[in-house]
Structure 1
Amino acid sequence: MLTFEKNEILSTTDVIKNFSDCRKITKEKSRTIIFKNNKPDLVMLDIQEYENMCNLISLLEDLDIQAVLKERLKDDTGKRYSLDEIGSMYNLK
């Protein structure tokens, strides 16, 4: 569960009426959460924070792929198939 400081929480009305101030808060804090009808609705992120999140997601995806490859290597018999052989197996010709 994410936690936010009080000064990182904005209402939709605040954003509409004072976007410049909201943008400044987001730049200072790197993120703000926007509430609508007293419920979390949106998150506004500084571009650097967004890029960091994207890089972390990419890293996690790479680590997941690496784990799958390691698991598959355990069962590798060394047998390889050509594209023609695979096509023949699945009647793709």
Structure 2
Amino acid sequence: MTKPLYYAEGRNIHKRPIEEKTDTGTSITLGFRCAVADRIVGEEGAQTIAELMNRGEAAPSLLEALEKIAETCNDSADAKAIAAANIALQAIASARWER
């Protein structure tokens, strides 16, 4: 199982380094602290923020998968459920970038 991209350490929220194999070797993107939760939010809130950020990272992949499933779906009830899930994921993705 891969580690989530964002994680909390105390009140600090970090983005993990990313290592990818390329044709010529390995590409490494450095990790960094991307946010600090204030004392009111605390460590538990920082963990929640990191989890929500990870969900936001997954939204584009989920949207793509839903679109592929919808293309092959024949049952109208299934198509409606997929359309509803697609709308919800689009709302999540757009809300993430509006802030």
TM-score, length-scaled by structure 2: 0.29
More helix as a share of residues: 1
TM-score, length-scaled by structure 1: 0.30
Higher RCO (Cα < 8 Å, 6 or more apart): 2
